[in-house]
Amino acid sequence: MNSKAMNWKLKQWAGGAVLVAVGLFLGWILFAGSGTGDATHSHDDGAVTVWTCSMHPQIRQQEAGLCPICAMDLIPLEGDGATDSPGALRMTEEAVHAASIRTAVVESGMPFMELRLPGKVQPDESRRTEMTARVSGRVEQLFINTTGQQVRKGQRLMSVYSPELVAAQQELLEAKHMQGNGSYLAAARRKLRFWDLTDEQIRGIEESGEVRRTFDLLAPHSGTVLTRHISTGDYVREGQALLELADLSRVWVQFDAYERDLAWVREGMTVRFTVSGQTGSEYSGRVSFIDPVIDAESRVARVRVEMPNPAGKLKPEMFVSGLLKSMLPGADEHLVVPSSAVLWTGTRSVVWVRDPEKSEPVFHYREVELGAEVGDSYIIESGLVEGEHIVVNGVFTLDAAAQLQGKASMMNAALDSEAGARANGKTMSMDMESITRIDAPLAFQKQLKAMFLKYEEISAALVASNAAEVTQAVAAMREFLGEVRSSRLSRSATLRWAELQSQLRRSLTEMRSIRDLEKQRAAYEHLSTALFSTLAEFGVEDQDVFTAYCPMAFDDKGAYWLTSKKEIRNPYFGDAMLKCGVIKGKIGQ
């Protein structure tokens, strides 16, 4: 990396560090004490006490003891902050106002992009002619002396003397006077035609019976002289370029489209453009061709619009500025949110959503999957549903407050309820008694059944201890997850599905980036727990799903998984302990 690139990178990191520091400072000023309460406050009898670590606030236990990370004494946490999930941040109305936090309703629609495309007018390549010498000779007289000169079809361009042409004329006249000369005469005529003599010129030779010393070369079509390669008196060889003509009654307008914009450009779209120096004039045309090759240096592809130009107002090399309005392919509507609502870490995209069921401000951390960038907005592929209230201003300060309180945030994605359980040395459980069943249509349950079968492919790859097959199966399940449709769910069910879908995607994304088998198994446990919540709450149509438990996984802390069979095939150990485990229960019972 060169010094300029290194300096630029250092400036980026420095700028990011300053933003993080400012956000944390503002979060401490605005929110310190609003979410966790006073740790030394006395407790009323019967109140539920949650114990946490002052150095590691993500640690939360139901009894006093030592922090499993740093071994410090745990302190009591009470108030609203004790009952909120690690992904929820509770605030006061005053703090919301002070932080200028504003929300907007997530809406669906047909997103469109306005692309500004720079370009140039160019001659139509199919209407350009490069005249070359068909026979060697000397230019006796040049009738076209300047580039840009207009010529008509059949107009004299130059007069050429060629000894070969003189000899060919003599052959023609001799063949004309020979008896039984049909084949010879035809051959002589073809030879002259090959050298660009017209039938009229050939008849003139035959009728006059005289050999002409020079011949005129005529314009094959009307147009403009773009380039003149020769001058009077020049000797030219066969194949040498003489003149370049172009018919400018129709021209190409070539626009430059960057790689990131090509998804929005399709043939047949209308482009409106203006020309530098022509005030008040606007043109429009349709895209006729998109270059399949990206320029290696400029990183753009040429987008062509063919334009009629009878008056000659569009001149080659003129600069133009185009505007193309495009909608995404397909007729489906998409969720679109302002780019100010999204925090992007490079691997994850994070938003904050306000809880509509709480009277006081409560915001939930949510990971989303971004689609295409649409101007100052993003398309949301999954993770949000229409009608939710998303934070669009103050989101960075809000996230900084969550970091201060040890909650899930942009920089601390692992602090969900399951990761918190693991940090406290507890086993992730699959308890049907804690499940609230959601009424879901059979069509949605069938989709969940198909997703469960994808999960079983991951389980089989782990049983076989094949890390490469695990990665492939994870990619297939993640792709299928994005295709699950929730349009028939109720409002509350749709919101819950968005949360579970976010958990599933986070687990699958984590597994997809791992190549180590043991680390894959640790991430598989998180995936299993998220999938259990999904199937247990929504149900799964016509499919047995059992919960299995291995007491020896993860240093005897134990771990669950899901299976369609009562036969134990342990994904946490594979052949080493294939039969280790027990069936604990069945989803739906």
pLDDT recorded at residue 483: 84
Over pLDDT 90: what percentage of the chain? 27
Residue that the structure tokens 């300047």 belong to? 146
pLDDT recorded at residue 252: 96
Question: CATH number of the domain at 125-246, out of 2.40.50.100, 1.20.120.1630, 3.50.50.60, 3.30.2320.80?
Answer: 2.40.50.100
pLDDT recorded at residue 59: 67
DSSP 3-state of 189: helix
Are residues 268 and 290 in contact, defined by beta-carbon separation less than 8 angstroms? no
DSSP 538-553: H--TT---EEEEETTH
CA diameter of the chain: 134
pLDDT recorded at residue 71: 73
pLDDT recorded at residue 415: 45
The CA distances from residue 296 to 118, 264, 265, 299, 303, in Å, are: 18, 21, 20, 6, 16
| Chain-centroid distance, C-alpha 298 | 19
CATH no., domain 432-586: 1.20.120.290
The CA distances from residue 352 to 89, 104, 366, 417, 434, in Å, are: 9, 11, 6, 17, 26
**Angle (nearest 5°) at CA 261 between 259 and 263:** 95
- Domain chopping of the chain, boundaries: 47-83, 125-246, 432-586
pLDDT recorded at residue 58: 55
pLDDT recorded at residue 135: 86
> Which two structure tokens, joined as six digits, stand for 520?
């894959």
Amino acid at 249: S
pLDDT recorded at residue 77: 59
Residue that the structure tokens 């005249």 belong to? 131
pLDDT recorded at residue 29: 46
pLDDT tens-place string over residues 207-239: 888 888 888 888 888 889 988 988 888 999 988
Name 76's Cβ contacts closer than 8 Å, sequence gap at least 6: 39, 41, 43, 49, 50, 51, 52, 64
Average confidence (pLDDT) per 10 residues, the chain, 589 residues = 43 46 48 40 50 64 76 64 63 85 88 88 91 88 87 88 86 78 81 83 84 84 88 89 90 93 90 89 94 91 95 92 82 80 81 86 86 82 85 88 76 51 49 78 91 94 94 92 83 82 85 90 90 90 90 87 93 92 83
pLDDT recorded at residue 428: 56
pLDDT recorded at residue 248: 92
Q: Is 306 buried (19+), middle (13-18) or exposed (0-12) by CB count in 10 A?
A: middle
